[in-house]
Chains A and B, each alone.
Chain A
Amino acid sequence: MVTLTIDNQTVTVPAGTTVLEAAQKLGIVVPHLCYHKELGAVGSCRMCAVMIHKGTLTGLKMSCLIAVEEGMVVTTTDERSMALREQVGEWLMLNHPHDCPVCDEGGECQLQEMTIAVGHGRRRYTGKKHTYPNQDLGPFIAQEMNRCIHCYRCARTYKDYCGGRDFGVMGSRNRVTFGRFADGMLQSDFSGNLIDFCPTGVFTDRTFRFTSRFWDLQEADSVCSHCGVGCAVIPGGRLHQLQRVRSGTNAAVNGSFLCDRGRFGFDYGRHPERPRRARRDGQEVAVDVALEALMSDARALIDAEGPEAVLLLGSERASLESNWLLQRLAKELGCRVPVLSPHARRHQAAQAVAFDLSHQLASLADVRTADVAVVFGVDPLAEAPLLALALRQIVRQGGRVVVCDPRPVELPFAFEHQPLSPLALHELLGGGDMDGKHLRDLLRQAKQPVLVAGADLLGTAGLRHVHSLAQRIATDDRACPIYPVLAGANSFGAALLSLPEQDDLMTRLEGDHVRMMICLETDPLVEGPDGKPLGERLARLEKLVVFDYLPTAVAARADTFIPTCPPVEASGTFINSEGRLRRFERVLAPGASLAHKEDGAHPPRAFFLTQPDSEPLPAPRLLQRLLGGETSLAQIQAEMVMDRPRLAALPQLKAGEEGERVAATVARALPEEKLPEQPAGTLQLVVSPARYGSDLLSRYARQLTPRLTTACVYLHPEDAERHGVQEGDRVDLDTRFGRFTLPLALSETLARGCALVENSAALPEPIPGSGISFCRIGRGGANG
């Protein structure tokens, strides 16, 4: 620790801290532009000048570059540094256009703030301003190059931190510009970070273009619900419409970054077909009427047919509170405990993570600081995009990343890919051939090793293998934590709440005991692997009740439908893959949007006491109404802690904070998975989630349409040759999910003996994480 004096105040900071950061700790803001907490300093803007009176280097220095020294004396408000900063502000503004009124950054622009902070106000220079050509960077990012102050933050974000390859610095002298070589959509899955990191309005959010001013937005700390990483986000809305999402900050999880799926895929809650009214037998009814009827139906059925008659189905997308209240509801009704996920195998894998691995979970920050990472069965960009960024930081610091996965994994950095088919991957983990030895040696030599395990591909058995591998690697002075990749925003939470006696959905539905099913914020038809048989079984139910905020297939089939709120319209808690409790706060009240952007249209002139279409209520409140008696979220949480001691940190949890991890616990007995034998002449079927449009939320987010890919089947060229098919052919794929005719694409980096399909809106039937299965491929019969 080093003690120094800044502006007559002493502060003690760790060695290696810069003067700028030490000043920030004291609450002194030294104006700066090119420095960013996540990106570090480069000293190019010259704005953070301070006077160093005592130290190795004295005089006017850039505070972002000077490390603190013992006994250093610094002033930030002396005449010379103030004068220099004002001058810097003045020349940064020489070419900056006079267009703040039409700039979307206005109001949250660091350049505006810093110009005011340094005191520059009146333009003295009378020469002409430079202008630059703009580029079309696709549907997400708008560029206005004239506003650029050449701080290089965009290039440092896009290229250095996120590893994008299609964006950079071009030109020489005062012609330096930042962009792509040619117009076109930015290819990186992290392109949206340019918006947050550009200190002025060069890169702005095109989906949010001219929509609202920062100061008019209702914002709250929330959690991204697209995948299990649980990044901090700050959604913002106005006029009852969610309009944008920007990255929040959580040092343990996402730092200050966000992937494009989380940033631009927020509009599922404003889907035009979103059901907002309660429905019963095709008739719109009041929510309370529907709730009452549903309760009396359930009671009558249970009285007549016993506790098996009603089946409650929770979800990995519903909040912790909702799932727990669903369990309470089962107790209240006297029926069997709810099933908390429609996807049994995924749910079991999540239980393995939440129980067996709970002593050894790594956070994403642990991944970033590791020096060797071995990834088993994860395609990070598809399953947990921010994991790809964390892994990139390992490589940037000189570490190594090895990925063992059947898919043709692409990552924004150099890594070693071992294309192993699912069976081979299990064999590697379970057995111990040469490759496994090589990996063990690599891990044993590492200072800070970390394992990444994909629950979807590995399943319970694979996760247990990874666990024992980690235990073998770990020594007394060197842990080997595991970062698990789970699919849903609250997969961990649902697994943690799950009870051993709950059984899986299809087993519970066997026979004709179940007469009524209540689905809470889930569509088992597309979120579980057994869509077809389940569809037939649902048709035989007497009552199907669905609580949801998406226009899902099962919602359309429901006898009773009750609208709920997406996370931005409710408060609650998720537990992310690493077992971290993440609180989200309500941003907007539910209700029909009043925003109109068409010329001449304007919000209604009539006023109502209640907002039209504001009937949807958060699921926990609906469930409490069913239980009779609404209490606050805090009271529910207090009861949850009494019930589940692992959630002890829940009541102190605050949105926007790092969030506590749930307490570790002992392993749970789970059914053993047996590896199937591969029938001759078949290929192993690998189902991967598509990067966009696989999770149900992004499927209903229409803003992501430009990023959607078409469905096709991938084969290794050797396999294609063996089966006599060529790239571009339409091929028939015979799988346990059905028979599909798809165009064929070849990939050199795909594991041999595998056929890969991506689950997306274009091909929703194959569900990832459904275990190892086999398929047959043949030339497309129908199309010749």
Chain B
Amino acid sequence: MSRHVFRDIRGTLQPFWVTLRNLFRKPVTVQYPEQKQQLPERYRARLILTRDPDGGERCVACHLCSAACPVDCISMQATEAADGRRYAAWFRINFTRCIFCGLCTEACPTKAIQVTADFELAGRDPLKLVYEKVDLLVDHCGNDNSYNFYHQTGIGVTAPRGENPQETKPMDVKDLMP
């Protein structure tokens, strides 16, 4: 015990000096509504649904984001377009529940759901924070302006079957050549 007596006394008195010094320093607080902070590029806040470079909806309503979501704030219904494209008939994010963890963006296989730095979502009416697809869908590609999921799959939506870059032409199944 005696070994630490001086250290303890110092430890008790030092804070008095530190706090006294701080009293005359400028506070680091950013006065929020008047001053706004420059947010980091990778800041995670409001979610958006982006479009692919060809202007189509990227979301294929695969339910992976809603499965990854730890607070179950995403729900959707998939449906099929005339050309076979799978897309969301409706897509809903309840931002009153969302904790902005960004796990949905990591789960998204088509880079459709992405985060933005818009964190100013407070409001008095919770229903205004339940965003439907029309509120979520944006007109740009977000942070990746080259990826188009349907160019990578074999299911002939953006190009006829077998016309995507890494595919062969469909097999002629009646061909009997060795």
Contacts and interface: CB of A to CB of B under 8 A. Distances in A.
Task: Tell whether A pairs with B.
Answer: yes
Interface of A: 97-102, 106-107, 128-134, 144, 146, 170-175, 177, 209-213, 215-216, 239, 595-603, 605
B167 A102 contact: no
B86 interface: yes
Nearest to A128: B168
B166 A128 contact: yes
Contacts of B63: 107, 212-213, 215-216
Contact of B92 (A133, A595, A602): A602
Contact of A129 (B132, B166, B174): B166
Contacts of B169: 131
Contacts of A173: 178
Contacts of A177: 171, 173
B34 interface: no
A131 B154 contact: yes
Contacts of A598: 79, 89
Nearest to B62: A101
Select the residue from A174, A213, A239, A601 with max chain B CB neighbours within 10 A: A213
Interface in B111-162: 127, 130, 132-134, 149, 152-155, 161-162
Contacts of B172: 175
A131 B110 contact: no
Interface residues of B, number: 42
Nearest to B61: A210
Given A128-B167, A129-B154, A597-B89, A171 B173 contact: yes
A130 B161 CA distance: 10
Given A102-B60, A596-B89, A602 B132 contact: yes
Given A133-B171, A215-B67, A172 B176 contact: yes
Given A133-B171, A171-B171, A605-B127, A102 B62 contact: yes
A155 to B, nearest CB: 14
Contacts of A209: 80
A98 B150 CA distance: 9
Contacts of A601: 89-90
Select the residue from B60, B79, B80 with max chain A CB neighbours within 10 A: B79
Nearest to B130: A605
B171 A596 contact: no
Nearest to A146: B154
25 contacts: A98-B153, A99-B153, A100-B109, A128-B166, A129-B167, A130-B167, A131-B169, A133-B161, A133-B170, A134-B161, A170-B174, A172-B176, A175-B172, A177-B171, A177-B173, A210-B78, A210-B86, A213-B67, A215-B63, A595-B77, A597-B79, A597-B89, A598-B89, A599-B79, A602-B92
Contacts of B133: 600, 602
Interface in B56-81: 60-64, 66-67, 75, 77-80
Contacts of A602: 77, 89-90, 92, 132-133
B175 interface: yes
Given A128-B167, A128-B168, A130-B171, 4 more contacts: A102-B60, A106-B62, A216-B67, A602-B132
A99 B173 contact: no
B173 A170 contact: yes
Contacts of A216: 63, 66-67
Contacts of B171: 130-133, 171, 174-175, 177
A275 to B, nearest CB: 27
B90 A210 contact: no
Contacts of B90: 596, 600-603
Nearest to A96: B154
A97 B154 CA distance: 5
A389 B92 CA distance: 45
Select the residue from B62, B110, B166, B171 with max chain A CB neighbours within 10 A: B171
Contact of B78 (A146, A172, A174, A211): A211
Interface in B15-71: 60-64, 66-67
Contacts of B170: 131-133
What 9 A-B pairs come out closest when comparing CB atoms? A97-B154, A602-B90, A101-B62, A99-B153, A131-B162, A210-B78, A146-B154, A213-B63, A102-B86
Contacts of B176: 171-172
Nearest to B152: A98
Nearest to A102: B86
B113 to A, nearest CB: 12
Contact of A101 (B60, B166, B173): B60
Select the residue from B78, B166, B175 with max chain A CB neighbours within 10 A: B78
Nearest to A126: B166
A101 B167 contact: no
Nearest to A606: B127
B162 A172 contact: no
B85 to A, nearest CB: 8
A418 to B, nearest CB: 42
A602 to B, nearest CB: 4
A102 B86 CA distance: 6
A597 B61 CA distance: 12
B175 to A, nearest CB: 6
A175 B175 contact: yes
Contacts of A98: 152-154
Contacts of B86: 101-102, 210
Nearest to B91: A602
B153 A210 contact: no
A760 B31 CA distance: 76
A95 B174 CA distance: 20
A175 B173 contact: yes
Nearest to A176: B173
B64 A97 contact: no
A100 B171 CA distance: 21
Contact of A131 (B75, B109, B152, B167): B167
A102 B155 contact: yes
A130 B168 contact: yes
B107 to A, nearest CB: 10
Select the residue from A97, A102, A174 with max chain B CB neighbours within 10 A: A102
Select the residue from B64, B149, B155 with max chain A CB neighbours within 10 A: B155
A210 B127 contact: no
Contacts of A596: 77, 89-90
Select the residue from A131, A133, A216, A601 with max chain B CB neighbours within 10 A: A131
A600 B4 CA distance: 71
A101 B130 CA distance: 25
A289 B87 CA distance: 46
Select the residue from A146, A173, A215 with max chain B CB neighbours within 10 A: A146
